[in-house]
C-alpha cells in the first residue's frame, strides 16, 4: 500500500525553471555563448555546475575556463537567481498542488522533497508549504544526480518507508528514470516525463489527486 510521496520541486510544485533560465541566459550573453530554448530546456533538473558545463560545451568552450572561474560563474548565476526568486509567494504553487498537499496531510500520508536545488528550503518557505514535508534531501550530500536513483532513495529514507510504499512525482525524464530505479512508483507530469515511461502519468499538475492516482494504479496493475 502507498503510504508516502517523494516530490521533485521545479516543474512539480512551482515553476522555477523560468528563473533558472533567465539567470543562465544572462550569464551566457555575458560570456558570449549563444542561447537557444533547447539549451534552456536541457538544464531542467540538472545541477548547477553540470548546467554550466552543458552551456559551455554547447559553445565548444568546455576547456576555456579554470575551475575557479567556473565556480565564480556559478556563484554569479546563483546570486542573480536568488534575486529573481525573492518575489515568490503561495500564488506561485502550480495548479492543483495546494489541494493535493492537504489531501495528503488529511489522509495520513507523508511527503519529502527530492530536488537538485540547493535553494529548495528557501523556495518552500516562500511558498508557505515547508511544514507539509517531513524533510528535504540536501543535494550537497549526493554523489550522483538524476537519473541516478540516489536522491529518491534518500527522500524515501527520510519517510522511513519501503520503496514499494512510495510514489515519486517528476516532470523531467531523468527524474522519472531515477524514481523507477529507486524502486518507487513514478508519477510523470507533462510531455517531457512521458518518454521515460512512468507507471502513472498526467498531462498537468491540475490532474493530480488521490482519487486519480488510485484509479491509475488500478489500470496499470
Ligand atoms: C532544479 C532545476 C535545475 C537547477 C537545479 C539546481 O532541479 O530544475 O535547473 O539547475 O535544481 O538548482 P540550484 O542552482 O538552485 O541549486 P529540480 O530537481 O527541483 O527539478
Ligand atoms: Mg523538475
Tell me the pLDDT tens digit for each residue of 181-200: 999 999 999 998 999 999 99
Which residues, in sequence order, are CB contacts of 193 under 8 Å at separation 6+?
A: 170, 171, 172, 173, 175, 176, 201
- pLDDT the model gives residue 218: 81
Categorize the per-residue pLDDT at 57 as very low, low, confident or very high, splitting at 50, 70 and 90: very high
Q: Which parts of the chain are beta strand (E)? A: 4-7, 110-113, 135-136, 166-170, 185-189, 200-202
Ligand 1, CB within 6 Å, residue ranges = 8-11, 17, 20, 43-48, 51, 78, 115-119
Rounded to an integer, the average pLDDT of 204-221 is 90
| Band of residue 42 on the pLDDT scale cut at 50, 70, 90 | confident
Question: With 80 as the cut, is the pLDDT of residue 220 above it?
Answer: no
Residue list, annotated binding site for substrate: 8-10, 24, 43-48, 51, 77, 115-119, 146
Residue 208 has pLDDT above 90, yes or no: yes
Q: How confident is the model over 130-184, as pLDDT tens digits?
A: 999 999 999 999 999 999 999 999 999 999 999 999 999 999 999 999 999 999 9
- Proximal ligand: closest to the CA of 120: 1
Task: Kindly indicate the confidence band of residue 221, based on its pLDDT and cuts at 50, 70 and 90.
Answer: low
Distance (Å, whole) CA 113 – CA 96: 17
- Is 50 considered catalytic here? no
Q: Which residues contact 148 (CB under 8 A, 6 or more apart)?
A: 178, 181
Q: Residue 4 pLDDT more than 60?
A: yes
Ligand 1 pocket: which of 28, 116, 176 to mutate (most atoms within 8 A of CB): 116
| Other CB atoms within 10 Å distance of the CB of residue 44 | 21
pLDDT at site 187:
98
Nearest ligand 1 atom to the CA of 139 is 16
* 8 is a catalytic site residue: yes
- CB-count burial class (<10 Å; 0-12, 13-18, 19+) for 11: buried
CA distance 143 to 161: 22
Amino acid at each position: 500500500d502507498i503510504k508516502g510521496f517523494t516530490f521533485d520541486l521545479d516543474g512539480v510544485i512551482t515553476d522555477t525553471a523560468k528563473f533558472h533560465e533567465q539567470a543562465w541566459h544572462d550569464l551566457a550573453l555575458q560570456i558570449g555563448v549563444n542561447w537557444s530554448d533547447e539549451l534552456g530546456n536541457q538544464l531542467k533538473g540538472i545541477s548547477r555546475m553540470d548546467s554550466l558545463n552543458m552551456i559551455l560545451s554547447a559553445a565548444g568552450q568546455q576547456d576555456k575556463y579554470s575551475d575557479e572561474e567556473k565556480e565564480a560563474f556559478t556563484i554569479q548565476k546563483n546570486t542573480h537567481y536568488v534575486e529573481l526568486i525573492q518575489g515568490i509567494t503561495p500564488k506561485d504553487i502550480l495548479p492543483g498542488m495546494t489541494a493535493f498537499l492537504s489531501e495528503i496531510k488529511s489522509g495520513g500520508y507523508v511527503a519529502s522533497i527530492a530536488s537538485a536545488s540547493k535553494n529548495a528550503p528557501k523556495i518552500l518557505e516562500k511558498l508557505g508549504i515547508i511544514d507539509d514535508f517531513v524533510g528535504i534531501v540536501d543535494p550537497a550530500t549526493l554523489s550522483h544526480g538524476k537519473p541516478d536513483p540516489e536522491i529518491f532513495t534518500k527522500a524515501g529514507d527520510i519517510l522511513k518507508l519501503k520503496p514499494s510504499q512510495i510514489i515519486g512525482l517528476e516532470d523531467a525524464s531523468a527524474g522519472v528514470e531515477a524514481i523507477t530505479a529507486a524502486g518507487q512508483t513514478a508519477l510523470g507530469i507533462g510531455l517531457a516525463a512521458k518518454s521515460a515511461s512512468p507507471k502513472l502519468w498526467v498531462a498537468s499538475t491540475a490532474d493530480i489527486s488521490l482519487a486519480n492516482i488510485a484509479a491509475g494504479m488500478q489500470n496499470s496493475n
